[in-house]
Chains A and B, each alone.
Chain A
Amino acid sequence: MNYSIGFTDLNASLHELEDNDLDALMADLVADLNATEEKLAAESKDHPSSSSSSSSGSSLPTPTVNNFGFPSPTVAPAFTTTSISMPAPAPAPAPPPAPAPAPAPALAPALAPAPGGPKGSISPPPPSQTSKLSKEEMEAQTKADKIKLALEKLKEAKVKKLVVKVEMSNGSSKTLMVDERQTVRDVLDNLFEKTHCDCNVDWCLCETNPDLQIERGFEDHENMVEPLSAWTRDSENRVLFQERKDKYAVFKNPQNFYLWKKDKNTLKDMKDKEKEMLLEENFCGTSIIVPDLEGLLHLKEDGKRSWKPRYFLLRASGMYYVPKGKTKTSRDLVCMVQFDNVNVYYAKDYKNKYKAPTDYCFILKHPQIQKESQYIKYLCCDDKWTMTLWVTGIRIAKYGMALYDNYKTAVQKTTASTSWTDRINSNASTPSPTLKAKAANGHAPKPAQDTASKGLSNQPAFPPPPPATEILPPPPPDPVLPPPPPPAMFSKGPLPPPPPAMFSKGPLPPPPPAMFPKGPLPPPPPPSSMGGCFPPPPMDDLPPPPPPDNDDSETPPDFLPPPPPAMGFPSSLPRGGALPPPPPDPVPPPPACPSGGPLPPPPPPPPPPPAPAPAAAAATRPTVRKSGPPPPKRTTPVAAAPSGGDFMNELMLAMQKKRTQP
């Protein structure tokens, strides 16, 4: 089922891409994917019992290597060599990127549309392959468990992913795969790892809308996919990665906002202690206190052309104005807007666009409104500082405590980042050993026909240790994990080709940094998907590694000789990082760990497998990248792997029962 799912998703995302005027490249990639898929399918048929594992293994091996990189130097070296031989793995990673192409700017929502239905239908086939394995291994498991796992996988498949092009302040851009469970914070962390910015708290992802000439910094706790989903297809909106001083200015100098009426000079040399006190008063009580802003602003509303001056007051419950002839006592105030359903945006150059009194304007609108509308409230302030005051005040009223929590998290991250490398190392070291051991175990149980395949299967399991992903940087060596997921999904062929290129170049070592980015992404995958998470990282890793670590996009091309990949890669790679989710593909895992075993197993062995895999996949490699079918990863981490066939059958039965019962 995984395969099929992956496939449909791919197609879907490809469609999107075309819509977004993707290049012919995409088409090529698709073709490649199909080819690889067929090949894989053929392979799997040949080796029924091990098919899933083998296929996954082949692809996986290399990838895993990349991911794990951390484990250790020893491993890494091995991988590099292997990886080279087996380009295949690399490809796997590439696939995820595929979606990226679309990307571009707009979102290519790679939805795994049909959760239940399609899967069910699809599922049947895979089962046959895995069934044997599962039967052997699954004995201990209860039916309920299986169903649950399968369902969880299905849920995973539903996860929506977008390929997002993020523009850097230097004009370059990075493309990321973002899944709907990721917050802006996750994406920022990802970008921190991919870029060499100083990671200070002012870094911000912000959305611009050229139609309305507005922009808004996303708040760290916001879901990343949601606002982007509101963009229209032909949207020229962009996502920028930039430093914005106003993002957390209120926490750095609360006096400027909470004591804005006071003399500016006295505020300037406010002592830290007093600042803390202000924060405590306003953000640490049972209720958040909103700055008591009030003043004359110009309002343009209801589609009218003129700007009317009104005396506005900010309250926690909304933005009010004083009606004509009334005083500003609470009971007389007229509510212009409450903040539940609107966001606040900075507006640019409204003097020209709307004949505003000044250029210091902001607007309030429902996030889904993308064009001029009478439902937008346009406000104009006398000066820039007033505008900042109001926008910040509205953000406090709207987000409340979340804003302060974001800030605290951001501060923690920056301080933590310094000790990052150390932690990475330690993490890497620990994981690697366990992985190996587990891998060994995993193999033993199974037929272990192909070490590689086993390794792959095990690898999927690894993913679970999401934390590891974060650690990833070091891991690069362990491509193993990453690959696994892809394999299953991508088995289609994508895997092999690209990877090789990558590996050869910079192989693993460098990747670590790359890995990081991925690490973040994976997080999304919850429990079951864990495996999935890891995988993604690999993808990124692969690409990045070659290049020192800088712009993924740029580097990839270099490494990736393979033309097709070039397109996909560059973009894909970065995205791949985002993609992580895909790994979930649980598919691979199935063999390895039907039961609880999955996650833990993370047998390190992966490295070895890669070699074989590459060989097998070699042919497919080129295409693989695209296949990236990232989506699948998430879907079925472990569960799928176990007993694809059985699960599905049981699931179908159960669902039928369910339907008939009522």
Chain B
Amino acid sequence: MAAWDLSIIVDDLGPDSPPITISVTSDLHIGGVIFKVVEKTQAKRDWSDYGLWWEQKQCWLLRTAWTLDKCGVHADAKLIFSPQHKPLRLGLPNGTTLRMRASFSAPVFRTVLNICKVLNIRHPEELSLLRPVEEKKKKKDQKSEEEIYDITDVPLTSASVPCLYNGMPAHFSDSPKTEAVYKMLSASQPSPAPEMLAKLYRPASIVDKTHIHTRWLDSSRSLMQQGVQENDKLWLRFKYYTLYDLEPKYDMVRLTQLYEQARWAILLEDIDCTEEEMMLFGALQYHIGKVSQSDAQALTSGLEDLDSALQSLEVKMGAESTANDMLENMTAPELNDYLKIFRPKRLTLKGYKQYWCKFKDTSISYFKSQEESCGEPIQQMNLKGSEVAPDVNVAGQKFCIKLLVPAPEGMNEVYLRCDNERQYAQWMAACKLASKGLTMADSSFDNEVKSIQTFLSMQRSNPGAQVAQSDDSINTLSLVSPRYHKKYKAKQLTPRILEAYQNVAQLSLTAAILKFLQIWQALPDFGISYFMVRFKGSRKDEVLGIANNRLIRIDLGVGDVVKTWRYNTMRQWNVNWDIRQVAIEFDGHINIAFACVNADCKTVHEYIGGYIFMSTRGRDQSDTLNEELFHKLTGGHEAL
């Protein structure tokens, strides 16, 4: 057979180095070509990760047993001998950028699997990569570029389950640098400055929301095939909103990143919520930020494990609490103070009047004066089941507690005015607990007092002096979406967040994150990915929402749901790749077909198939991921 010359560019030999030319025959297999190239370079290095990339055909020649003939390679082929794993800048859900090696030759699905293995994120099938939104940066800003965490040195472990060392996967515990990366991955980031929040891109309409979904990479093709270059930036995001088997014990990174993605979705109004919900999200963010800071010293999740183990031990012991503890509980603590009380009644303009108040168990009794406190109180209010709200203005030295005390005739409105922060924090904490039927003897009392004081200190800070802000004085504007920046001033917002905060202040870090995720998931629009499509037979563009259990047809103008179809009534779906049309048949001979306006129909196809794949998880007990099935369901004509 005739020999011919094949020229191959070898990566990493320097940009100017000429291609290497080797003499081959058509029946030489790829492995042989590689051998010849390596021999010719005479460079001693580890070539094991290198593979042949065929530039014109945009494909890898990875089957070493195939001959050149079988691959269709001729003398005009431009081949590049290049590493299959290259550094990639990954934008994480928490907004940081991580530089790490990823496979440029495997299908994106597998690449994500490997990335997640390194990052210690379970259920990587729920994540994928997408191209970032172009940042319109001014050149001068470029220098103050974000900090990049680099873990390109970390080997891509093949170990199935990363063993934990010092509370983190062993490959993170090698150096302080990688430990810092793990910390970044597993702890939530501080709240963004409100100014920065306002500058970030926010989708203004449902049409805007469709744009983001045009950016997903194709899971069945490699990064290289999709034009991604070494050191390019891609976003790693949760793509399928079917959060399977969340287990705080193993999922610290996953939970944290999920929380970050949810938080940004809310802050940037990617998902709509009501004002009440926003306040609760704000309160949870504040709480999570605060708790994770104090936990930061405790460092590793390993210690956290220990902590939780100790805690559960304590709980067990608590059941058989010691005699001392019980004694403590028997001597009921009280609060006694002069407070001003105001009971608004119709047609009265009476103001606050001072009384001697006594808080015992879950009741407040008040007397004319301390001297009369042994006698019958003027009134006694049992706060169990009441609504307690703060009415505070630190600057104005106003520390009021608004109580709505239930009675058979309705709710009695009572205001208690305290003299100072300390007094307020104690009475407020006592009221809070009493409304839940707990007394000050409850172990949470001290924490409650502390958290109220902390929150008060947020108000104390001068909103003008943001530079001097300490950790305690987060600007509440950074906890809500920019919409509320216009609607409220910080000092109006703080009391509202404080109000919501009272209900979550006792949560542990993990519980708070889970709560945040739960509320997020309970939002009506949760987990819907939007695509602009044109239905067959329709003359206008419409929006197709893809959720984990249904497809939603949405009127683009009004935003109203026109129709929903559930996957479980779906008989089959097909893609006509020639005309780029997706056709779906549902039970009862319902057929729909649509073409995608701004996204590749492969993306839509993959989304639907992906959700169907997600719903098959857990059916068989095995924990192994059925990669083949995923590709079958999402691959389309390129798959097999």
Contacts and interface: CB of A to CB of B under 8 A. Distances in A.
Interface of A: 115-116, 144-145, 147-148, 151-152, 154-155, 230, 232, 266, 274, 277, 281, 285-290, 292, 315-318, 320, 327, 329-331, 333, 335, 338, 340-341, 366-371, 373-376, 654-655, 658-659
Nearest to B246: A286
Interface in B375-418: 385, 387, 404, 406-411
A655 to B, nearest CB: 6
- Which 5 residue pairs are nearest across A and B when measured between Cβ atoms? A373-B410, A368-B406, A316-B522, A370-B408, A330-B272
B524 A292 contact: yes
B280 interface: yes
B160 interface: no
B628 interface: no
A147 B327 contact: yes
A595 to B, nearest CB: 15
A371 B408 contact: yes
Contact of A375 (B275, B410, B558): B410
Interface string B320-340: 001100111011000000000
A286 B276 contact: no
Nearest to B242: A285
Interface stretch (B118-126, B512-520, B575-583): B512-520
B277 interface: yes
B408 A330 contact: no
12 contacts: A115-B330, A145-B323, A147-B323, A315-B522, A315-B523, A316-B523, A327-B558, A329-B559, A369-B411, A373-B409, A375-B411, A655-B331
Interface of B: 243, 246, 272-277, 280, 322-323, 326-328, 330-331, 385, 387, 404, 406-411, 483, 503, 514, 517-525, 549, 558-559, 568, 588
B243 A330 contact: no
Contacts of A148: 322-323, 326
A155 B246 CA distance: 39
B191 to A, nearest CB: 21
B327 A151 contact: yes
B517 A286 contact: yes
A211 B514 CA distance: 42
A285 B615 CA distance: 12
A366 B406 contact: yes
Given A287-B517, A287-B521, A331-B274, A369 B408 contact: yes
A654 B327 contact: yes
B410 A369 contact: yes
A162 to B, nearest CB: 16
Contacts of B246: 286
A439 B328 CA distance: 37
Contacts of A338: 276
A654 B323 contact: yes
A340 B326 CA distance: 31
Given A277-B568, A317-B519, A329 B272 contact: yes
A528 to B, nearest CB: 11
B612 to A, nearest CB: 13
A330 B274 contact: yes
Contacts of B331: 655, 658-659
A341 B387 contact: yes
Nearest to A333: B274
A330 B411 contact: no
Given A144-B323, A316-B519, 18 more contacts: A147-B326, A152-B326, A155-B326, A230-B385, A292-B524, A315-B274, A317-B274, A317-B519, A329-B559, A330-B277, A331-B272, A335-B276, A341-B387, A366-B406, A371-B409, A375-B411, A655-B331, A658-B328
A319 to B, nearest CB: 11
Contacts of B280: 317
Contacts of B277: 315, 317, 330
Main secondary structure of the interface of B (DSSP, over half): mixed
A274 B567 CA distance: 11
Contacts of B385: 230, 341, 366-368
Contacts of A317: 274, 276-277, 280, 519, 522
A290 B407 CA distance: 30
B323 A290 contact: no
A3 B523 CA distance: 57
Contacts of A373: 409-411
B521 A330 contact: no
The listed residue with most B CB atoms (<10 A of its CB), out of A315, A330, A338, is A330
A292 B564 CA distance: 13
A266 B406 CA distance: 45
Contacts of B404: 375
B322 A144 contact: yes
Contacts of A375: 404, 410-411
Contacts of A285: 243, 521
Given A317-B274, A330-B274, A373-B410, A151 B522 contact: no
Nearest to B437: A226
A155 B323 CA distance: 12
Nearest to A116: B330
Given A281-B549, A320-B274, A331-B272, A655 B330 contact: yes
Nearest to B405: A368
B483 A655 contact: no
A421 to B, nearest CB: 34
Given A287-B522, A317-B519, A317-B522, A331 B273 contact: yes
Contacts of A154: 330
A370 B410 CA distance: 7
B407 A369 contact: yes
Given A148-B323, A658-B327, A658-B328, A368 B274 contact: no
Contacts of A274: 568
A335 B276 CA distance: 7
A327 B555 CA distance: 14
A514 to B, nearest CB: 32
A366 B517 CA distance: 28
B522 A331 contact: no
A232 B272 CA distance: 43
Contacts of B519: 287, 316-317
Given A281-B549, A369-B407, A286 B274 contact: no
Contacts of B522: 287-290, 315-317
Contacts of B273: 330-331
Contacts of A376: 410
Contacts of B408: 230, 232, 368-371
A330 B323 contact: no
A147 B246 CA distance: 44
A152 B517 CA distance: 40
A155 B523 CA distance: 43
A330 B522 CA distance: 13
Contacts of B243: 285-286
Contacts of A281: 549
A575 B517 CA distance: 46
Contacts of A232: 408
B530 to A, nearest CB: 15
Contacts of B387: 341
Contact of B276 (A145, A287, A318, A370): A318
Contacts of A292: 524
A376 B410 CA distance: 8
A154 B326 CA distance: 10
A368 to B, nearest CB: 4
The listed residue with most B CB atoms (<10 A of its CB), out of A144, A274, A368, is A368
Contact of B524 (A277, A287, A315): A315
Nearest to A282: B549
B387 to A, nearest CB: 6
B385 to A, nearest CB: 6
The listed residue with most A CB atoms (<10 A of its CB), out of B274, B407, B549, is B274
A318 B278 CA distance: 13
B521 A655 contact: no
B396 to A, nearest CB: 27
Contacts of B410: 369, 371, 373-376
B330 to A, nearest CB: 5
